[in-house]
Amino acid sequence: MLNQESLQTKTPEELIALVASLDKKIKQRDAFIELLEQELALAKQRHFGRKSEKAPHDANQYELQFDEAQPPENQAEIIAADEAIAVPAHIRKKPGRKPLPKDLPRTQVIHDLADADKICGCGCTLTQIGQETSEQLDIIPQKVVVIEHIKYKYVCKQCETATTARIAPQPIPKSLASPGTLAYVATAKFCDGLPLYRQEQIFNRMGVDMVRNTLAHWMIRTSELLRPLYLCLQHEITHDDIAYSDETRLQVLKEPDRSAQTPSFMWCFIGGPPEKRSVMYHYNPSRAHTVLEEQLAGFQGYLHCDGYAAYHTFAAEHAVKLQGCWMHARRKFHEITKIVKSSGLAHQAVAIIAKLYKIEKQMKALKLKPDDIQPYRLKHSQPILDKFRQFIEHHKPKVLPKSPLGKAFTYADNQWPHLVRFLEDGRLDIDNGLTERAIKPFVIGRKNFLFCNSVAGARAAEVIYSLIETCKLHQVEPYQYLRDVLTKLPAMTTLEEIETLLPFNIQPPSP
């Protein structure tokens, strides 16, 4: 510690050097404190704040937590360029309640006057001149029925040979579960996020004594039957030249040689031509690039993904080009705008990226084909990308590398070659939103069931989730699809027959 005696013994040059050293330490400490304050503000925002990435219309509505490095430059130019991008006008729909679907069953309830009321006060009988019709939606809870399979037996009285009629092959032989029951349980769990323990309670309320272990066994057996369809989806993905990938955590309790607290992962892959677009979930205890090598074996082309290192390792070792995700790049800046009052660098970055998305929206409104999208992007998106690149190069050296803003700049800078790759091909997307939307139902369902009890359960989830999410992409109703497939699939033996049951090849009967 410094004391008065030690200071008195120092020369003026030593005192000047000491002051400079202490000033440097104070500045470093202040910078570290500012960094901690920013990290704390972001942590509070992530835990308690809005999850939406939609910016408010008024940029002044951002809340004050800390100031950024400096105010934005050329803000008037940004606003002018932002307003210059015109999106074709759309026809505004009239407000009001949508009519109920025409294909729903209807029951008529006639409301008529009593015979005494059909006599007018003057003594004449009233004449019907028309009617008014209004509709109400009525819901009848699940109806449980028992299907009795009666097999007639025949015998030849002369040679005494007996013959018994056969029933069609069932999804689970000798099981109580019909195709409709299996489809109902699978849809409720993997489409609607209803855990099996809650379905157990629902069955018990309906008067059916059911335990969740039985329901879990049904789902595992169902997934085993559906796995050939799952492999067909994988084939569609690996044999096209554009794919998408993302992954999320999953906890599996009973996994060999792993503790229950060790996280595993559910991967999601999407690919195939638009008319055969397929979704494939894959459970794996690893998050390494070897998972990509196994599941995308033989794939060559463009892979949409985020900045996770495993994708870069996979691409470097195979004929794969990575298409970066502008959603991730924007998100890192947008998180800062939620906790910053002044319009700073993060606000400026979000505004520039928003212009890229407005161009994408404009092309969608114009219904441009891939061959027309590439030149359109080169004309309209390329100048914005060039400006954003200059923006990064100018401001990145001026911010603390470990600060939230510095990390946002670093991510965009490191991912730049992949973020601009969507200019190469009109079929590419500007982000990896397709996979994020496909994996979101699993993430929401995970909040309900929390974990998988066994590896077999996780394997069952990967199959059924894959088929349901593929149904959604092709606007096929999941329950009717699964009911139809589970009825037909047990009798099919060839690959050609199985392929006819893929979601994009089948149209289930109307309910």
Residue pLDDT, tens place only, 202-226? 999 888 888 999 999 999 999 999 9
- Burial (CB count <10 Å: 0-12, 13-18, 19+), residue 386: exposed
From residue 261, how far is each of 3, 196, 252 by CA, in Å?
Answer: 53, 22, 8
d(CA 42, CA 65): 9
Name the residue among 251, 269, 268 with its Cα closest to residue 260.
251
Cβ 347 vs Cβ 354: under 8 Å? no
pLDDT of residue 63: 37
pLDDT of residue 5: 64
Report residue 69's pLDDT band, with 50, 70 and 90 as the boundaries. Answer: very low
Tabulate helix, strand, coil % of the chain (nearest 5): 50, 10, 40
Quote the tokens at residue 286.
């690893």
d(CA 297, CA 310): 15
Lowest mean pLDDT of 96-100, 363-367, 384-388, 438-442, name the range: 96-100
Quote the tokens at residue 485.
């497939």
Quote the tokens at residue 353.
């990226």
Give the tens place of pLDDT for each residue, 77-116: 544 544 455 545 555 555 667 888 888 888 888 988 888 8
pLDDT of residue 377: 95
When pLDDT is averaged across residues 273-295 and rounded to a whole number, the result is 94
pLDDT of residue 302: 96
Cβ 308 vs Cβ 319: under 8 Å? no
When pLDDT is averaged across residues 420-436 and rounded to a whole number, the result is 94
Q: Is the pLDDT of residue 492 over 80?
A: yes
Helices 404-414 & 370-395 angle (0-180, nearest 10): 130
Q: Is the pLDDT of residue 8 over 80?
A: no
Q: What angle do CA 382, 383, 386 make, to 5 degrees?
A: 85
Name the residue among 255, 278, 252, 199 with its Cα closest to residue 463.
278
Lowest mean pLDDT of 11-20, 148-157, 402-411, 438-447, name the range: 11-20
pTM of the model: 0.78
Name the residue among 163, 146, 147 with its Cα closest to residue 155.
163
When pLDDT is averaged across residues 406-416 and rounded to a whole number, the result is 92
Tell me if residue 174 falls in helix, strand or coil.
Answer: coil
pLDDT of residue 64: 36
State whether the Cα torsion 36-37-42-48 is positive or negative.
Answer: positive
Quote the tokens at residue 59.
């940029």
Lowest mean pLDDT of 68-72, 314-318, 333-337, name the range: 68-72
**Cβ neighbours of 481 (radius 10 Å):** 23
Q: Is the pLDDT of residue 428 over 60?
A: yes
d(CA 166, CA 150): 10
Q: Is the pLDDT of residue 329 over 70?
A: yes
Quote the tokens at residue 392.
């990064």
17 vs 479 pLDDT, higher one: 479
pLDDT of residue 89: 53
Strand pairing report for 452-454 and 242-254 = parallel
pLDDT of residue 138: 81
d(CA 34, CA 42): 12
Domain boundaries, given as residue ranges, for the chain: 166-324+440-511, 325-431
Percent of the chain with pLDDT over 90: 48
Report residue 4's pLDDT band, with 50, 70 and 90 as the boundaries. Answer: low
Please identify which residue in the block is written with the tokens 């599941």.
295
Tell me if residue 118 falls in helix, strand or coil.
Answer: helix
d(CA 416, CA 91): 38
Q: Is the pLDDT of residue 395 over 50?
A: yes
Q: Is the pLDDT of residue 481 over 90?
A: yes
Whole-number mean pLDDT of the chain? 84
Rg of the chain over Cα atoms, rounded to whole angstroms, equals 32
Hey, which of 112-126, 359-373, 446-460 has the most confident mean pLDDT? 359-373
Lowest mean pLDDT of 41-50, 272-281, 431-440, name the range: 41-50
Q: Is the pLDDT of residue 321 over 60?
A: yes
Percent of the chain with pLDDT over 70: 85
DSSP letters, 76-98, are HHHHHHHHH-PPPP-PPPPPSPP
CA count, 13 A, side-chain hemisphere, 240: 23
d(CA 461, CA 363): 37
343 vs 290 pLDDT, higher one: 290
d(CA 85, CA 366): 14
What is the Cα 227 distance to its own chain's centre?
22
Quote the tokens at residue 408.
């946002």
Q: Where are the alpha helices (DSSP H) in 338-415?
A: 345-366, 370-395, 404-414
**DSSP secondary structure letter of residue 122:** T
Q: Is the pLDDT of residue 511 over 50?
A: no
Tell me if residue 497 falls in helix, strand or coil.
Answer: helix
Number of H helices, E strands in the chain: 17, 8
φ, ψ of residue 320 to 5 degrees: the values are: -130, 135
DSSP letters, 400-469, are -TTSHHHHHHHHHHHTHHHHTGGGS-TTS-SSSHHHHHHHHHHHHHHHHH-SEEEHHHHHHHHHHHHHHH
